[in-house]
Amino acid sequence: MKKIHVNDKMQDDYTYFLEEPVGTNFQFNFEPELTPKEMLALGVFGGKYLNDCKKEFPEDWFTNAKLSPARKDITLNYYSVDASQPLSEWIKKGWIHPQDPRGWFQWYCRYYMGRRTTTEDIRQIKRWYAFRRHIGAIKKFCEPYDYTCRKKQRQALFHWAYDSRTF
């Protein structure tokens, strides 16, 4: 088991272990369509995610990542729309837990790398699964492959590792 020690702007002196090989042995029914590397390269969260914690993740994840050095820049998002709520809203709604203070995507990156935390994994996978309802809305209200239709929902799906370019 590999030990990861984290010290960044949002988390001091946090340690976790990688229990599984990278990108494998996911829980049954958890089948993300995009890897963290692919998400970062496509453009998610206005380029303001993981900027100060690159040392925690593989260097190649950031080779083609669309990141903003200063503040959120929605033009870096694949659909150039803002599909995120501020972190303060995430906290208010109880979506943020101390082990992953940046939220779902941080959890997913760590899970993808091989960290497993039973209770939190179950909670986050349920949230991921519930988000797929947006796929149904796009299929119902948009012509197939009309990427101008429901761009905000399509972008939000990218944020949850669903690839909205496939429908």
With vertex at residue 65, the alpha carbon angle to CA 149 and CA 152, rounded to the nearest 5 degrees, is 20
Neighbours of 128 (CB within 10 A): 19
Classified as helix, coil or strand, 8 is strand
Element (H, E) at 104: helix 104-113
Contact 109, 126 (CB under 8 A): no
Residue 90 sits at φ, ψ, to 5 deg, of: -60, -45
Bigger pLDDT: 9 vs 156? 156
Cα–Cα distance for residue pair 153/164, rounded to 1 Å: 9
Query: pLDDT tens for residues 48-98?
Result: 988 888 999 999 999 999 999 889 999 999 999 999 888 788 889 888 899
pLDDT at 85: 85
- Model confidence, pTM: 0.95
Cα–Cα distance for residue pair 63/65, rounded to 1 Å: 6
Per-residue pLDDT at 6 exceeds 90: yes
pLDDT at 94: 84
Query: pLDDT tens for residues 89-148?
Result: 888 988 889 999 999 999 999 999 999 999 999 999 999 999 999 999 999 999 999 999
